[in-house]
Structure 1
Amino acid sequence: MKKLFFFLLCLGVGMSCHAHENFITRQDHQLFDGKKLFRFAGIQFPELHRIEDDSKGVCHLDPRGWGQFFKWPTADEQENWIKSLVHTGHKAMRVYVLSIEQEFDHACNRQTHIMKPATPNAMPRLNPIAMEHYDRMIALSDKYGLRLILPIVDHWPWWGGREQLAAFYGEKPEDFYNTNSKTFKAYLNIIEQLLTRKNTITGREYRDEKAIMAWETGNELQDTTADFLRITAAHIKNLDKNHLVVDGTYKKINEFALNDPNVDIISNHYYENAGNLSPSTVTDDLTAIKGKKAYLIGEFGLLSSQQLEEIMNAAVDTKINGASAVGAFIWGGRGRRHNGGFYWHLEPANNKTYSYHLPGFADGDANEEITVVNMVRHAIARMDGEKAMRPLPIPEAPLLRTIFSEKNIQWLGSSTGRHYTVERAENPKGPWKVIGKNISDGKNKFNPDSDSLFSDSSKFEAGKEYFYRVTAVNETGVSHASNIQSFKR
């Protein structure tokens, strides 16, 4: 049934269900899509498969004080986010890790991708509910032409990482890197389960999905050892001949990674606490890599737009003995909510940087949102050898939700919509009257429990039915009208 739904969805938008013809391959320090050089830039959207809902605050039943509330994205949300990325030029996206069950998840009603073993000392289990959302992320990326970089396990505990995996076996967090530990054995088993999983939508095993560009050993694995990387990378390549392997080491370039035949991409993240938040890090890392591998700047951010642009320019333009970075991602972005508005996140590292929203809104001026988004779109074009930022496509129609109150009219925004026009009629065929113009859905810190996109303050006749529709607008043009919803006073 899911395969039929996906097939019909493809036909409905007049697109191929398989946008990718090739797997991404590597030759020395370069990546290729078939015979075409593959370079990319972007704003990283980490939550295409699991949402940290900051509007809900923190779970007070989690004594660590930072435990967030999580939810799974709807199909509409995932499709909207991926289209937002692709329609703003993104060719690749690095998402966040697989979440791992931890002590306070049940109390906070949190589900994870990886569940504790069913019996002591058994292997961890993939949560089938969670993985269906992961399946759909891959299927939609395949449909719309996005490549995915997929880190496996986190060094950090935010979503559950090495510490939580080790806890399944009564071991310490550092045992994750010990190749003789139960934790490491479980990590290898997770990789095997992942690579051989059959996608419930496409019917393909993950190792045969062209939307997947690369597997990353993990997120910010700063204590990676030669044995850990050697065994892990070989394990991935033995199971999966189609995909690239990223060394997920953080803060340094390991010589043993450069000499490992199963490692394709060397990655680094630039942050203030890592002491490397500078354009010069691009030169330093490319010099250290010596053209032996492809180089990815997996994350950098929490800076002014000018400082971000300096690093992005270095990522695009710097060449050391002919080698350049293959890609760079600014941290980080969030997508639209099912019923309107955007998810958002305030970065605790500096307590002032909010997540960016595509295609960029004046509501985010304090965050320099439009400036940052446009700079990234320009970098995307330059990675492809183009001089100018590509124009946005004309917006697609918004999706108007059921109206329960005229005080709270909701819609899922268009993937490239800047603002919206709301119309009302007394007949579903019109005539239509404009009752709202230049309405933005880009408000930061949008709270669905208290905020609304549009409130109709008109006077209504009791018992009379009114009809509504919405159009999206950007600098390129105006969308078709949305679906029609009615409301009876």
Structure 2
Amino acid sequence: MAKQLLGGQATRIYCLSVLRSIDRPGTPRHIVAAPSLPDGSVNPAAFNEEGFRILDRILATANEAGVRVVIPITNQFPWHGGYTDLAALRGVDPSQYWTNQTTRADFKAILTYTLNRVNTITGVAYKDDKAVLAWAYGNELNSATDTWITEMGSHLRSIDHNHLIMHHTTRGNIRASDLANPYVDVVATSIYDNFNNITVQRIINQKDQTAGIKPYVTFEFGFSTTEILGNIMDTIISTGASGGQLWGLRPHNRDGGFYWHGEEGSGSFFLLRSYHWPGFPSGDRYDESSVMNLLRTKAYAIQGIDPPAIKAPAPPTLLPISSPSAISWQGSVGARSYVLQRATSPHGKWTVVNPEVYDDVAYTSIYNDTSVTLGERYYYRVRARDEAGLSPPSNVVGPVRATSLSIVDDLADLSQTFQHTGNLDTQTTNNRVFSERLARVARTTAAADQSLVYRIAGNPLSTRAFTYFQNLDGDFLLSVSRDGTDFTPATANVARFGEGPGVYGYWYRVRYDLARLPVDTRYLKITFPGLANSLTPQLDRVEIPYLPVSVATIKDVVRHYATTGELSAKTAARLTDDLKQAEQRLDHDGPAKAIKKLEEFQRHLADVTAAAAELLNNDATLLIATLRAE
């Protein structure tokens, strides 16, 4: 666990999630209906067993790692369902939530169900589980009344005598009522500096207000420079506060890469995304690696000990691979990079595909292996690396047959494009509204006819382009060309995803698919809609699987031109015969003699129309260069 390697002794999870009116069908939530029955008892149907089994796993893992967990029950805010959504389950105005008899009974039912739940992994009831450090009434629960806190705390304490109760707010000053309430054991606040250097003094003030009365925790801090974050951590230590938590560290994704949570929006928030241990290039703009090292140092300093030496990481878990263009693994905690290896046998000999792969990707595959030989079957494994060394190898996955190569462009820059118009640029901020994707291309002005072009070194099989629209107006245009000059529009299948902006202002995701392209397509153009807003829409990712130029692909193009009439039957037969002989010589005599036959093929293009001859000649030239390099 990252928290353990960072020296952390405790962490928090987010709140129990609540079904919301804007949720898409199938959205997983902990609470899916009114929690209590008319007599005030628990409504078992209100609680999603699948969601709570995940919480079972979290607590079991925390026990294994020796880390304690704070569990907030509800939320001041509606991000994943909060008290306003609990009110909505009853049709109650949120302003009445704290006093309404039915919603109060509902919260007690949530406490009753949660505290009495028996972990399906460990067999231990939550109320008896050592993994739980404290129950928090909610996340930043500013609007809860003193009467409500007392009533709910009394009910909680009647069930659970083992754990602390925390009240977490964003208030600048600690209320006397919280210090006097017997059902508030720990006072916790969120304090965000926002580069104004105010957090240090506020921590000092709040620690003074709680001194000798109750433990105080800076439950959330962050959104600042590395220097100021260091000052904040030093202040937590020097004042004797019971701890602090940097917002917000996100773990590896079970499907590869990491989970992400952007905090961008405006002003000082615009640069910041979630942190990932031990730090990666994607976090350079907010000094992620330095902040992670600082956090580890201070986490041990508050315990009065020096950080132990870093150990080599555990092996990652390589996930099933359907294509060499989509390789992913479950990452190793603490790994800075990975060594991807490949062999033609599950027992080796292993060769290095890439000695330094970063897994700081957002909800997509990690690696595209473009060095495969078509038709070959490969086995893959991966090793994690940190400053202490390499992990043992992962599991082996294979055989994976290489049936094509792919252009896979996540548009971190425009380097994979063949050309693009001048008013396009990469966007890497405000990622939250784009499903946390890390980069996209957008127009920088409202100029019309803005486009980018990909050059395809072979026969394309299909194309898929992912885009985002703030409003579902207009469409991208996909066009194909064999010479890069004359483009023909292609009709794409369009799929739209998303239910609207929601609480975060999400944009709609729109996918364009070209299932089949002419075999002589060598250029793909993607043209942006000519909308007035220069940032609407944005291009997110492009995937183009293709067959690299070979004798077989050139034969397919000759056959295509014979069908379209650009080659006479006689010329097509002669060119096909040249290619068959080149293929035979390649199989039996080696590249040199095959190259001579390909050069003869090029001389026979004199009788071919100019456009067709140019493409066939270019493909033959590319193949000759490839053969000479072998």
Cα RMSD between the aligned structures?
2.1
Shift of 1:474: 0.3
Matches within 5 A, 1:45-444: 83-105=1-23, 107-117=24-34, 125-178=46-99, 181-251=101-171, 252-271=173-192, 277-318=198-239, 324-349=240-265, 350-386=269-305, 388-443=306-361
Shift of 1:465: 2.5
Please give the alpha-carbon distance, in whole angstroms, between the structure 2 residues aligned to 1:369 and 1:94. 21
Residues 435/93 of structure 1: CA separation in 2 closer, same or farther (3 Å cut): same
Shift of 1:206: 0.5
Please give the alpha-carbon distance, in whole angstroms, between the structure 2 residues aligned to 1:277 and 1:192. 40
Please give the alpha-carbon distance, in whole angstroms, between the structure 1 residues aligned to 2:197 and 2:225. 16
Given the alignment, which residue of 429, 437, 455 partners 2:368? 455
- Is the Cα contact below 8 Å between 2:36 and 2:109 reproduced in 1? no
Q: SS in structure 1 opposite 2:228?
A: helix
Residues 157/243 of structure 1: CA separation in 2 closer, same or farther (3 Å cut): same
Aligned letter for 2:295? V
- Is the Cα contact below 8 Å between 1:428 and 1:467 reproduced in 2? yes
Aligned letter for 2:167? D
Q: SS in structure 1 opposite 2:16?
A: coil
Aligned to 1:36: none
Residue by residue over 1:17-49, the C-alpha shift from the partner in whole angstroms, topping out at 9 and shown as x without a partner, is: xxxxxxxxxxxxxxxxxxxxxxxxxxxxxxxxx
Q: SS in structure 1 opposite 2:348?
A: coil
Q: SS in structure 2 opposite 1:373?
A: helix
Structure with more relative contact order (C-alpha pairs < 8 Å, separation 6 or more): 1
Aligned to 1:474: 386
TM-score by length of 1: 0.76
Shift of 1:270: 0.5
Please give the alpha-carbon distance, in whole angstroms, between the structure 1 residues aligned to 2:307 and 2:167. 31
Residue by residue over 1:301-322, the C-alpha shift from the partner in whole angstroms, topping out at 9 and shown as x without a partner, is: 211222222211111112xxxx
Aligned letter for 1:475? E
Aligned to 1:42: none
Shift of 1:250: 3.0
Aligned letter for 1:249? T
Q: SS in structure 1 opposite 2:340?
A: strand
Aligned letter for 1:476? A
Residues 461/190 of structure 1: CA separation in 2 closer, same or farther (3 Å cut): closer
Aligned letter for 1:84? A
Shift of 1:422: 1.3
Residues 144/285 of structure 1: CA separation in 2 closer, same or farther (3 Å cut): same
Please give the alpha-carbon distance, in whole angstroms, between the structure 2 residues aligned to 1:472 and 1:426. 21
1:483 matches 2:395: yes
Residues 266/118 of structure 1: CA separation in 2 closer, same or farther (3 Å cut): closer
Residues 128/426 of structure 1: CA separation in 2 closer, same or farther (3 Å cut): same
Residue by residue over 1:208-228, the C-alpha shift from the partner in whole angstroms, topping out at 9 and shown as x without a partner, is: 111011001111111233222
Q: Which moved more, 1:376-385 or 1:426-435?
A: 426-435
Please give the alpha-carbon distance, in whole angstroms, between the structure 2 residues aligned to 1:456 and 1:127. 40
- Is the Cα contact below 8 Å between 2:189 and 2:220 reproduced in 1? yes
Residue by residue over 1:254-293, the C-alpha shift from the partner in whole angstroms, topping out at 9 and shown as x without a partner, is: 21221223322111110359x9941011110011113211
Residues 134/375 of structure 1: CA separation in 2 closer, same or farther (3 Å cut): same
Q: SS in structure 1 opposite 2:138?
A: strand
Please give the alpha-carbon distance, in whole angstroms, between the structure 1 residues aligned to 2:115 and 2:346. 50
Please give the alpha-carbon distance, in whole angstroms, between the structure 2 residues aligned to 1:276 and 1:235. 40
Aligned residue pair count:
392
Aligned letter for 1:169? R
Shift of 1:163: 0.9
Please give the alpha-carbon distance, in whole angstroms, between the structure 2 residues aligned to 1:367 and 1:316. 24
Aligned letter for 1:138? L
Residues 119/86 of structure 1: CA separation in 2 closer, same or farther (3 Å cut): closer
Residues 153/441 of structure 1: CA separation in 2 closer, same or farther (3 Å cut): same
Q: SS in structure 1 opposite 2:273?
A: coil
Q: Which moved more, 1:186-195 or 1:108-117?
A: 108-117
Q: SS in structure 2 opposite 1:131?
A: helix
- Is the Cα contact below 8 Å between 2:193 and 2:221 reproduced in 1? no
> What is the identity percentage for the equivalent residue pairs of Structure 1 and Structure 2?
32
Please give the alpha-carbon distance, in whole angstroms, between the structure 2 residues aligned to 1:154 and 1:139. 24
TM-score by length of 2: 0.60
Please give the alpha-carbon distance, in whole angstroms, between the structure 2 residues aligned to 1:183 and 1:383. 41
Residue by residue over 1:50-74, the C-alpha shift from the partner in whole angstroms, topping out at 9 and shown as x without a partner, is: xxxxxxxxxxxxxxxxxxxxxxxxx
- Is the Cα contact below 8 Å between 1:337 and 1:343 reproduced in 2? yes
Residues 408/331 of structure 1: CA separation in 2 closer, same or farther (3 Å cut): same
Residues 133/473 of structure 1: CA separation in 2 closer, same or farther (3 Å cut): same
Please give the alpha-carbon distance, in whole angstroms, between the structure 2 residues aligned to 1:156 and 1:226. 19
Aligned to 1:4: none
Please give the alpha-carbon distance, in whole angstroms, between the structure 2 residues aligned to 1:172 and 1:307. 41
Aligned to 2:575: none
Aligned letter for 2:279? G
